[in-house]
Amino acid sequence: MHGNHPIKVFACEKSKPLAEKIVKVLNLELGKSDILHFSDGEFQPAYIESVRGCTVFIVQSTIPPTDNIMELLLMIDAARRASAHKVIAVMPYFGWARQDRKDRPRVSIGAKLVANLLAAAGCDRIMTCDLHADQIQGFFDFPVDHLYGRKVFIPYLRKAKIDDLSIAAPDMGGAKRANIYARYLNAPVIICHKTRARANVVNSITAIGEVKDRNIVIIDDMIDTAGTLCKAADVLKEMGAKSVRACCTHPVLSGDAYERIDKSALTELIVTDTIPLTTDPSKPKEKIKVLSVADMFATIIDRVYNLEPISAEFDF
């Protein structure tokens, strides 16, 4: 407990599994809340215990995006109206992050709009992981704790002791992220160049770098339909790669993603639990390995709550 402001951690519906892991690490109990559902689809979250004077952490990844961001906003508003001292949104996956700029005429900048909505609801701070673009932090006028999936991926890859390792970026935009992994793992970098026919549809992929007889790990912040990743894996195998793995922080996995991964050249897909995998037993998951970010978020929550520095959490 810090001062006169007790800590309480709550979860929205879709992120309860991760929130339960986080509170276990913190040696706390998950706060009690409930949702009243109306027949037309409207819903109203409520806290079943007092949050007056508390520092409230609300865990919610916004996937699927629309209902989940609204639930989070309502939870923030409810905490504010119940006289919480501070309200901090823990958003392991920040949805709408692909809309970070006007890349064609007459489109919205969804990431900035979500930042404005969180501020309007009364959010004091946000914690998130592997934003699609680092500069989204600048959309907020309050503190952003931006964590990195490499904190769990790099120890896993080191432990795997993969010979002839190369790190690949799935596109030009991912080159910086891949280069950081390559530096920590002392491995060369491969850059994949892709062209798109339209959103979620890849036209062609080519790879720049030494591919033949290498064990390649593709690094990305998220995997949605898995079209780009699976096509890149197939191309790299055709170019002579010994094996292709991938580390993707956020397993959105929409549409036929599970089936694509199962049929692809990927040896393994390593993801985190920022988004829970589907519970549908018909969806193949044999190639998917899930690493938890619970310890990472618990550490940051504890340090922020106790007014301790967090910079050490970004180094290895």
Alpha helices in the chain (DSSP H): 16-26, 65-81, 110-121, 150-160, 175-185, 227-238, 257-263, 294-305
Neighbouring residues of 132: CB distance < 8 A, sequence distance ≥ 6: 94, 97, 98, 100, 111, 221, 222
Rounded to an integer, what distance in angstroms lies between the CA atom of residue 137 and that of residue 36? Answer: 33
Six-digit token string for 316 = 């290895």
| The two structure tokens encoding residue 35 | 């949702």
Please give the structure tokens belonging to residue 91. 């958003």
Which position among 14, 194, 231, 237 bears the catalytic label?
A: 194
User: What number of residues does the chain have?
Assistant: 316
98-108: buried (b, 16+ CB within 10 Å) or exposed (e) per residue? ebbeeeeeeee
165 CB burial (10 A radius; 0-12, 13-18, 19+): buried
176 is annotated as an active-site residue = no
Q: Which two tokens stand for residue 264?
A: 């692809």
Helix and strand tally (H, E) in the chain?
Answer: 8, 14
Supply the residues annotated as catalytic.
Answer: 194
